[in-house]
Amino acid sequence: MKIFCVGRNYAEHAAELGNDVPQEPVIFMKPKSALLQSHIPFYYPEFTNELHYECELVLRICKNGKYIQEKFAGKYYDSITAGIDFTARDIQNELKSKGLPWEKAKAWDNSAVVGKWIPISKFPNRKNINFCLYKNKELVQQGNSGNMIFSFDQIISHISQYFSLNIGDLVFTGTPAGVGEVVVSDELEAFVEDDSVLLLNIK
Ligand code: MG
């Protein structure tokens, strides 16, 4: 199982971190060990002093493929949820400033959290799916798939030009504006439309 993530897929989020809007999808990966298993608590990692949440729509791949054309990409994922791409922002900023890879900031154990899966068939328009994140009951992020720079199908097609996609792979599709810090004892709750899909306490 592979976890693909898209960076800078919402213009306002690219701007809030001082990044340019990309001309093609920014793709990075997390290993299988990054996926937080359900019923395992999430612990604040020791190596960071600036842990950020990034709430994102996540797709689950249901069909093996490579070199997938955009017009067929919609057949390759069948479930969606919201997830958190946890980021050690202090480490990421240091690595970025040196032009070094991001893994230590993004791909550590349990840095990828996903919510309850919803069949994608429940959403007649995949370019109009709302999601949001509450921190301690306060709304902190709000997104809509229609505001993504690269659509689900463009992302799937692009990834598959480089990497084979396999059943069970996950794709984090990027975070909207409003990323921020969490500390121990914070509570995060993510929604897809009105459905609460994820509830997480930082231990
Ligand atoms: Mg992200």
Could you tell me the distance, in angstroms and rounded to a whole number, from the CA of residue 107 to the centre of ligand 1? 11
Domain 3-201, what architecture? Alpha-Beta Complex (3.90)
- pLDDT at position 51 over 90: yes
- pLDDT at position 14 over 90: no
pTM of the model: 0.97
Could you tell me the distance, in angstroms and rounded to a whole number, from the CA of residue 176 to the centre of ligand 1? 9
Quote the pLDDT of residue 4: 98
Could you tell me the distance, in angstroms and rounded to a whole number, from the CA of residue 141 to the centre of ligand 1? 13
Which residue type sits at 170?
Answer: L
CA distance 14 to 196: 26
- pLDDT at position 67 over 90: yes
Could you tell me the distance, in angstroms and rounded to a whole number, from the CA of residue 71 to the centre of ligand 1? 25
Instruction: Name the residue ranges covered by the structural domains of the chain.
Output: 3-201
Could you tell me the distance, in angstroms and rounded to a whole number, from the CA of residue 72 to the centre of ligand 1? 25
Quote the pLDDT of residue 19: 86
Could you tell me the distance, in angstroms and rounded to a whole number, from the CA of residue 194 to the centre of ligand 1? 22
- Cα atoms in the 13 Å half-sphere on the side-chain side of 184: 7
Residues in CB range of 3: below 8 A, 6 or more apart = 29, 30, 31, 32, 34, 35, 112, 169, 170, 171, 172
Quote the pLDDT of residue 20: 86
Neighbours of ion ligand 1 (CB under 5 A): 54, 85, 175
**Average pLDDT score over the chain:** 97
For CA atoms 75, 76, 81, 82, the dihedral sign is: negative
Could you tell me the distance, in angstroms and rounded to a whole number, from the CA of residue 66 to the centre of ligand 1? 23
Instruction: Give residue-wise pLDDT tens across range 68-127.
Output: 999 999 999 999 999 999 999 999 999 999 999 999 999 999 999 999 999 999 999 999
- pLDDT at position 184 over 90: yes
CA distance 70 to 86: 29
Q: What token pair was written down for 42? A: 């999430």
Quote the pLDDT of residue 65: 98
- pLDDT at position 10 over 90: yes
Backbone angles phi, psi at 135, to 5 degrees: -115, 120
Q: How far apart are the first and last CA of the chain?
A: 27
Could you tell me the distance, in angstroms and rounded to a whole number, from the CA of residue 9 to the centre of ligand 1? 9
Could you tell me the distance, in angstroms and rounded to a whole number, from the CA of residue 12 to the centre of ligand 1? 13
Average pLDDT over residues 190-195: 98
Per cent of the chain over pLDDT 70 is: 100
Could you tell me the distance, in angstroms and rounded to a whole number, from the CA of residue 5 to the centre of ligand 1? 6
Q: Give the range among 12-21, 115-124, 134-143, 191-200 with minimum mean pLDDT.
A: 12-21
Quote the pLDDT of residue 17: 86
Instruction: Give residue 32's pLDDT band: very low, low, confident or very high (50, 70, 90).
Output: very high
Taking CA atoms, 84 is separated from 57, 64, 143, 165, 180, in Å, by 9, 25, 13, 21, 12
Instruction: Give residue 192's pLDDT band: very low, low, confident or very high (50, 70, 90).
Output: very high
Quote the pLDDT of residue 38: 87
H, E, C per residue of the chain = CCEEEEECCCHHHHHHCCCCCCCCCEEEEECHHHECCCCCCECCCCCCCCEEECEEEEEEECCCECCCCHHHHHHHEEEEEEEEECEEHHHHHHHHHCCCCCHHHHCCCCCEEECCCEEHHHCCCCCCCEEEEEECCEEEEEEEHHHCCCCHHHHHHHHHCCCCECCCCEEECCCCCCCEECCCCCEEEEEECCEEEEEEEEC
Higher pLDDT, 85 or 18: 85
